[in-house]
Structure 1
Amino acid sequence: MNIKLHKESGITLVELMIAMLLGILLTGGVIQTFSANKLTFNTIEGISRVQESARFTLDTLTREARMIGYMGCMSIDMPIHNTLYAAYQGEFDLSSGVTGYNGGASSWTPTLPTSLSGLSNSPSTGTDILKIFGMSSSGERLATSMPDSSAALKVVSPTSLATNDVVFLSDCEKGAIFQATQVNTNSTSGVDNVVHNQGSGWNETKPLTTDGSSFGEDATVYKLVTKYYYVAPGTGVNSQGNAVQSLYVMENGTVSELIEGVENLQILFGVDTPPADTLANRYVTANNISANDEVVSIRLIITTNSINTATAEGDGLLRRTFTQTVKIRNRGSL
Structure 2
Amino acid sequence: MNNAYRFRGAARGLSLIELMISMVIGLIIMLAVVQVFAASREAYRLSEGLARVQENSRFAMDTLQREIRMVGHFGCVNDQAHTSPTRISLRSTLDGTNPVLDFNRSIQGYEANGTEPGKTLTIAATPSTGGTDYTPALPDAIAKALTNRVNGSDIIALRYLMPDGVPVTSMGGDASKPVFNFDASRLSVLRSGMTNPGLYGVADCSSATVFQASAVNTGTASITFNTGKLNASRTFVQGYTVGQANLYRAESAVYYVGYDADTKQSSLYRVRFSATPGGDLAAGAPEPLVEGVDNLQLLYGQDRNLDTISPSGYVDRQGTAKAVQESLPSDVQLAWRRVGAVQIGLLMSSPDPASARQGDGAAALIGMGVTYTTPTDRRMRAVYQTTVALRNRLYGN
Q: Would you call these one fold, judging by a TM-score over 0.5?
A: yes
Q: Secondary structure at the match of 1:10?
A: coil
Deviation at 1:112, TM superposition (A): 2.0
1:240 is matched with which residue? none
Matched letter for residue 83 of structure 1: T
> Does residue 1:100 correspond to 2:109, yes or no?
yes
2:100, 2:141 within 8 Å by CA — same for their partners in 1?
A: no
Match of 2:393 in 1: 331
- Over 3 Å counting, the alpha-carbon distance change for 1:132 and 1:86 in structure 2 is closer
- The count of residues paired between Structure 1 and Structure 2 equals 318
Q: Once structures 1 and 2 are overlaid, which stretch shifts more, 5-14 or 138-147?
A: 5-14
Residue 120 of structure 1 and its aligned partner are, at CA, apart by: 7.2
Tell me the equivalent position of 2:231.
203
Partner residue, 2:221: 192
Alignment CA distance shift 1:234-1:81 (3 Å): same
Q: Is the 8 A contact 1:98 1:131 kept in 2?
A: yes
Render the CA deviation track for 1:176-229: whole Å, top value 9, x for unaligned: 22111222212xxxx41222222x32124443235xx45424321111111211
Q: TM-score, normalised by structure 2?
A: 0.72
Give the distance between the partners of 1:22 and 1:70, measured in 2 at CA.
Answer: 73
In the other structure, the counterpart of 1:247 is 268
Q: 1:86, CA displacement in angstroms?
A: 4.2
Range with greater deviation from structure 2 (213-222 or 12-21)? 213-222
State how far apart, in whole Å, the 2-side matches of 1:219 and 1:285 are. Answer: 37
Tell me whether 9-18 or 103-112 shows the greater mean CA deviation.
103-112
Residues 227-306 of structure 1 aligned to structure 2 (within 5 Å): 227-234=253-260, 237=263, 243-252=264-273, 253-254=283-284, 255-274=286-305, 276-289=311-324, 290=327, 291-306=335-350
Q: Pick one of 159, 181, 199 that aligns with 1:154.
A: 181
Report the CA distance shift for 1:120/1:248 in structure 2 as closer, same or farther (over 3 A): closer
Aligned-pair identity (%)? 27
Closer, same or farther: CA 315–205 of 1 in aligned 2, 3 Å: closer
Q: Summarize the alignment of residues 29-108 of structure 1 with structure 2, pairs less than 5 Å apart.
A: 29-75=32-78, 76-77=81-82, 78-88=88-98, 90-104=99-113, 106=131, 107-108=133-134
Q: Secondary structure at the match of 1:322?
A: strand
Asked if the contact 2:103/2:160 (under 8 Å) is kept, the reply is yes
- The residue type equivalent to 2:101 in the other structure is F
Say what the alpha-carbon RMSD is for the aligned residues: 2.6
Gaps of 5+ in 2: 83-87, 115-130, 274-282, 328-334, 359-375
More displaced 10-residue stretch of structure 1: 166-175 or 308-317 = 308-317
If each structure's helix is expressed as a fraction of its own residues, which one has the higher value? Answer: 2
Match of 2:372 in 1: none
Q: Per-residue deviation at 1:325?
A: 1.5
Summarize the alignment of residues 87-166 of structure 1 with structure 2, pairs less than 5 Å apart.
Answer: 87-88=97-98, 90-104=99-113, 106=131, 107-119=133-145, 121-149=147-175, 150-158=177-185, 159-160=187-188, 161=191, 165-166=198-199
45-54 vs 144-153, greater mean Cα deviation: 144-153
Partner secondary structure for residue 259 of structure 2: strand
Could you state the TM-score of these two structures normalised by the residue count of structure 1? 0.85
Q: Offset of 1:117 from its aligned partner?
A: 2.7
* Distance in 2 separating the partners of 1:234 and 1:129: 17
Cα distance in structure 1, aligned partners of 2:207 and 2:381: 49
Query: Quick one: distance in 2 between partners of 1:57 and 1:141?
Result: 33
What stretches of structure 1 of length at least 5 have no aligned partner?
238-242
**Residue-by-residue CA offset, 1:273-320 (whole Å, 9 max, x unaligned):** 436532222211111213101211111111112222333224322222
